[in-house]
Amino acid sequence: MLVLMGQADKLNIETPLGTRETAIKAAAILEGMGVTDTHVGQILDVAGEVMREEGLFYQGFEPSVLPVDDPELGRCVYITFALAASPERVVDMQYELTCRLVDRFPELPASLSVGFQVSSLQ
């Protein structure tokens, strides 16, 4: 990820306000915890499977990415997809995502959390 950000800089590619800083912070946390871009991609692919099967696409321009690097809270990157669906449906989808991730990845990285939430744009 950091390599891609460096390439974007060389090409003078602009990013929306705050996106670059968030991406760099998230990448540093994940790389520091031994989580590769491949791990992230595989986990996000499973989230995409669940959304496709439900016929949903996330709301907004991009998923929410929240990098947390705090001495008390720990180090983690939270990636959340806002969905135009009922709370009950989103909970069911989150359960399905969690089950699939546990089944497919015996050692899920604790420093990456991927999930769904109800969109406020409904």
In CATH terms, the fold of domain 2-118 is: Alpha-Beta Plaits (3.30.70)
pLDDT of residue 16: 64
Could you state, in order of their start, the residue ranges of all structural domains in the chain?
2-118
Label each residue of the chain as H, E or C. CHHHHHHHHHCCCCCCCCHHHHHHHHHHHHHHCCCCHHHHHHHHHHHHHHHHHCCCCCCCCCCEEEEEEECCCEEEEEEEEEECCCHHHHHHHHHHHHHHHHHHCCCCCCCEEEEEEECCCC
Q: What is the pTM of this model?
A: 0.84
Give per-residue pLDDT as tens, 31-55. Answer: 999 999 999 999 999 999 999 999 9
Give per-residue pLDDT as tens, 56-79. Answer: 988 887 889 999 999 998 999 999
